[in-house]
Copies of this chain bind each other. A is one copy, B any other.
Amino acid sequence: MPRFFVAASNLFGGVAYISGRDAEHIKVLRIRHGELFTVCDGKGTDYVCRLKSADAKGAEAEILETSPSRGEPSVFCTVFSAFSKGEKAESIIQKAVELGASRFVFFPSERCVSRPDEASAAKKCVRWQKISEEAAKQSGRGIIPDVMVVMSFEKAIQEAAKADMPLFFYEADTEYTIKQALLSRSEYSTVSIVTGPEGGFEPDEVLSAKSKGMLITSMGSRILRCETAPLCALSAVMYHTDNL
């Protein structure tokens, strides 16, 4: 069933009011009077709707049924990813939204080849947010994960360390596995997954992350690309927490 995100303020009195790009999309998809589609408030609730009317200004639909969005995992995972070259960030966002990530934070680190300035990072962020929205629609999510950029490694780690399960992946440390980390605490509702750029993290960054309370964790004995690592970690977290 087609799926749209609508601000909660556009859902009232048993009617969903759809405007802008989504109203255009209803036309493009040729959804007709009486046909069903899903509207999501972006806060984890789905509304099955029947189209009542659609014109140039927008569309109105009757709300038939309300239910929690099935696509939302029970843990809130933030993917913290160092700036990478080319379109790797796009690929990480698209696939990690499908896999259940709830937020993205991009940040610079010492070995980053790509170092956007604040203006260009802000511009990228707008595009990345759109990719998150498209992936959320396509994969049936109940929220549109936020995409943010912070301009220092320290700020990223400060935020990452707040999670109940703060994972920092470092390829040179193979002693502490992701399974040991995930088993080390019994209950957690927030998870941070921090992964490095193409060249990995510098040892002093690892020490700094450790001192802030991050769990320095291995992802096994194979070397993962910077765009593969967050997807692998996220799949493992979702598997472990029964969200797969």
Contact = CB atoms under 8 A, between A and B. Distances in A.
Interface of A: 70-71, 94-95, 98-100, 138-141, 177-179, 219-225, 228, 231-232, 235-236, 238-240, 242-244
Contact of A223 (B95, B98, B177, B225): B98
16 contacts: A71-B223, A98-B223, A98-B228, A99-B222, A99-B232, A100-B222, A139-B223, A139-B224, A140-B223, A179-B242, A179-B244, A220-B243, A232-B235, A235-B235, A235-B236, A239-B239
Nearest to A218: B244
A178 B138 CA distance: 22
Contacts of A242: 177, 179
A232 B244 contact: yes
B138 A223 contact: yes
Contacts of A71: 221-223
Contact of A221 (B70, B177, B178, B225): B70
Contact of A140 (B138, B221, B225, B243): B221
Given A222-B100, A225-B95, A239 B179 contact: yes
Given A71-B223, A177-B242, 10 more contacts: A71-B222, A95-B225, A98-B223, A99-B232, A139-B225, A140-B221, A179-B244, A220-B238, A231-B231, A231-B235
Contacts of A224: 98-99, 139
3 pairs of A and B residues whose beta carbons are closest in the complex:
A235-B235, A236-B239, A70-B221
Contacts of A100: 220, 222
